[in-house]
Amino acid sequence: MALLISDKCINCDVCVDECPNSAIFMGEEIYQIDPSKCTECVGHYDKPTCVIVCPIKCIKSDPLNKESLEQLAQKYVNLVESDS
């Protein structure tokens, strides 16, 4: 499942550099996560690093983008292959 940044985001910039897939970007008012790039760090880390470093814990699972571990792993493979 892709992740979602809630409107509680304080734009502290901590999560941006933590995303290995460059899925986090500045939206109109707060940071957002591109669900087509978010693998919840599958292929990189054991846990989503943006969730770990967020000081206000505003990054949650996106209920509109539910994916299995296998789907997240395949998305990771597709992203790696597209970067090659």
pLDDT at 62 over 80: yes
Measured over the CA atoms of residue 68, residue 72, residue 73 and residue 77, the dihedral's sign is positive
Strand partners, 24: 33
pLDDT value of position 30: 97
Q: Is CATH 3.40.50.970 what the domain over 3-83 is classified as, yes or no?
A: no
Average pLDDT estimate for 4-13 = 97
Does the pTM surpass 0.85? The reply is yes
Output 44-48 pairs: Cβ under 8 A, ≥24 positions apart: 44/20, 44/76, 45/20, 48/3
Sequence ranges of the domains in the chain: 3-83
Average pLDDT estimate for 31-52 = 96
pLDDT band at 83 (very low <50, low <70, confident <90, very high): confident
Joined tokens for residue 48? 């989503």
> What are the φ and ψ backbone dihedral angles of 32, each rounded to 5 degrees?
-135, 165
15 burial (CB, 10 Å; 0-12 / 13-18 / 19+) is buried
